[in-house]
Amino acid sequence: MDNHLEILYISPKKGKGIFAKKDIKKGTLVEKGHVILISNKDYEQIQDTILYQYVYEWDDPDKPDFQNAIALSQCQFFNHSYEPNLKYIYDYENQIIEYITLKDIKKGEELTVNYNGHVDDKSPMWFEVE
C-alpha cells in the first residue's frame, strides 16, 4: 500500500470522506485498519457517545465476549454507499480490517463501503442515505 488516499471534508451532513489521489486498479488493497476489540460490556457504555458511529461488528467466533471493534486508521472516514467501490474483509487472527477495491477507481473519486458488511446488502441504515 502506498499513499493512494486523502481525507477531505465533504459537508456538514456527511463530514469527511476519503478520495483517491491517483487512479487505483480493481483488486488493490488500499487500507488496513488495525482494530481495538470492545467488550460487550464496554459496548453498552459507548452506545450514547460519538464513538458509537465508528464501531464495527466483529463476529470472531473465537471471541464471543468481544462482538464489536474500532479500527485505527483513516478507514474510519470511508462513507457508506449502497453501490460501494470497496469491500472490507475481517482478518480475525491479526485483528485487522482490509479494504480492497471492487472496481477501477479514478483520481478524485470518493472511496465508499457498504456499512451493512456485504456489498449487495440494501438493509436500511440508522441515518438517511443520500
* 24 contact partners, CB below 8 Å, separation of at least 6: 4, 30, 101, 104, 105
Is the residue at 17 inside a domain?
yes
Residue 66 belongs to what domain range?
A: 5-113
Residue 11 confidence class, pLDDT cut points 50, 70, 90: confident
Looking at per-residue confidence, does 129 or 70 come out higher?
Answer: 70
Phi, psi values for residue 48, rounded to 5° = -105, 20
Tell me, yes or no, whether 97 lies in a domain.
yes
> Rounded CA gap, 24 and 30, in Å?
9
* Residue 127 is assigned to a structural domain of this protein: no
Establish if 124 belongs to a structural domain.
no
Alpha carbon 113 to its chain centroid, in Å, reads 6
Q: Which alpha helices (DSSP H) does the chain contain, by range?
A: 40-46
Is residue 118 one of the residues assigned to a domain?
A: no
Instruction: Let me know if residue 122 belongs to a domain.
Output: no
Domain count, the chain: 1
- CATH number of the domain within which 49 lies: 2.170.270.10
Q: By the 8 A CB rule, do 64 and 92 touch?
A: no
Distance between CA atoms of residues 39 and 65, nearest Å:
6
Q: What is the pLDDT of residues 103-127, one digit of tens each?
A: 999 999 999 998 776 676 665 655 5
Residue with cell 488495525: 34
Q: What is the pLDDT of residue 127?
A: 52
